[in-house]
Structure 1
């Protein structure tokens, strides 16, 4: 191998389609920076089917971040998108218009994957309606701060991950817009956010995996029962309970008296690690198993792991206790 071989630009010998695939693994800021390599690279980044905007890549300088987003969208135009990621911390109300413009632009590019995390203390902030009416998206993760979240028509959505933690949220209507979802994670850190949405959900025949949080021991089981009633083909259920004190077995189970024939795995995670909590949940497991007739139950907390098995209707049931 001579000196010329050592200095040869082998990457530039690759076809454009392969280079754009490599660029799609980078953040948008990193991909745009490749435009200075040569004339051939000047516009290659505009063919990348992924946009990844993260305010932390700009040392929390929102003005530079806003200018960058505007420049990228203006130069790129509207070719189809595979994935869109946005992480943004709002510092002033004037920035909301830029977010809405960005999301509306992206929705017009028909993305299949959307991941958005927004942080704001402005209770009047709302995500644009176009986001909740995007007919192309198959996978969506939203960690938004908004006054209302209403998913209107997302029949194409099969994987959904929603984490709601905004105290100013006054309307949450998600489940009616998820008729074909197969995997759903719904997490609300403010008590009562799930109460109105879950009982009104439609029959989710395609739902196979469900994670709920942050539930409360005093009433959480009734919400779970309601969800199971509307998810007849569910196979895996993950429950996250908060710090509240444990209720009696009767209160925990509520009307949880029907059998759920396809349910195979239940994971229960709780933050209250007292001996009383572990004993109470252990005593309740029998009733829970009778109610849902599942094959495997996993009960999680944090530190020590205990594993035991027993038979229920001829089925070997494994229980893992971490206390």
Structure 2
């Protein structure tokens, strides 16, 4: 029969699987379709938030209005991001509302991309720290965070480094002024297989504790980090990528007998090199 809504006739489990491949903003909109779709989105185990989905016409302003804006460095033209735009407020309210309405529903994958953040927030109550903590309490398998906070550090919850359910994690905190210091109270990620850290200061003790606390780690990527360590040693690591990092030790010795893939591209190096 023509005009039949066959998608809505699918079981909720199938609808949930379909929505898990879409950004969360699109998944929430499906509640307008029908009674059946109203609560389906709240059971989707994948949450995907990108600030670019919330841009409006007032977010970018011309060069001559720069007194009211912050420079948008990623573009070649003299374009600025307006601090007075409602995009940031809408983004924060949406994520808070989604997390509130989901209540105790499990989260398998959580992805957050918040670039060009110009609205000021205080370090002690920055929304990213609050969101990450709430998500980690739901025992996710995958956590992916890339944010550009406005000239402040974000306090990454220690639970990010002790969440036993995590299998993959990406943490990039790019505030353009100073790097986050990787120094949690403890490392204990027994099931973590992939780790991608960006914009961190990493000392030798932190690296040692990290690798000891991740006994099943297979892939490690360090991007735009400041490395102050003398060696990297891991028995089961298969992939190591060091890109855009600054190295300060006299030399860095690498002992990874299971290594299958290696990429090293440093931007500043005060070492004699990497010794394998």
**TM-score where L is the length of structure 1:** 0.64
1:212 is matched with which residue: 206, 226, 242?
A: 242
Rg: which structure is higher? 1
Q: In structure 2, do the counterparts of structure 1 residues 93 and 215 end up closer, same or farther at CA, with 3 Å as the change threshold?
A: closer
1:67 is matched with which residue: 82, 89, 93?
A: 93
Determine the C-alpha separation between the residues in 1 that align with 2:9 and 2:250. 60
Give the 4+ runs in structure 1 shifted more than 6 A. 218-221
Structure with a larger share of its residues in helix: 1
What residue is the counterpart of 2:45 in the other structure? 49
Deviation readout 1:4-45 (Å, 9 max, x if unpaired): x22110101111111101100011100000001011111100
Structure 1, unpaired ranges of 5+ = 257-291, 293-323
What residue is the counterpart of 1:180 in the other structure? 216
Deviation readout 1:166-197 (Å, 9 max, x if unpaired): 7xx587835522332111111225xxx1123x
Q: In structure 2, do the counterparts of structure 1 residues 148 and 78 end up closer, same or farther at CA, with 3 Å as the change threshold?
A: farther
What residue is the counterpart of 1:238 in the other structure? 263
Kindly indicate whether the alpha-carbon contact (under 8 Å) linking 2:110 and 2:142 is maintained by their aligned counterparts in 1.
yes
Alignment length (residue pairs): 233
Structure 2, unpaired ranges of 5+ = 60-86
1:19 is matched with which residue: 12, 15, 32?
A: 15
Determine the C-alpha separation between the residues in 2 that align with 1:204 and 1:84. 28
What residue is the counterpart of 1:307 in the other structure? none
2:136 is matched with which residue: 98, 102, 107?
A: 107
**Structure 1 residue 222: Cα displacement:** 3.4
Q: In structure 2, do the counterparts of structure 1 residues 175 and 144 end up closer, same or farther at CA, with 3 Å as the change threshold?
A: farther
1:93 is matched with which residue: 99, 121, 129?
A: 121
Determine the C-alpha separation between the residues in 2 that align with 1:243 and 1:44. 50
1:222 is matched with which residue: 229, 244, 251?
A: 251
Determine the C-alpha separation between the residues in 2 that align with 1:23 and 1:83. 13
**2:101 is aligned with 1:81:** no
Q: In structure 2, do the counterparts of structure 1 residues 107 and 37 end up closer, same or farther at CA, with 3 Å as the change threshold?
A: same
Flag the structure with more relative contact order, 1 or 2, with Cα contacts below 8 A and sequence separation at least 6.
Answer: 2
**TM-score where L is the length of structure 2:** 0.75
Determine the C-alpha separation between the residues in 1 that align with 2:159 and 2:248. 35
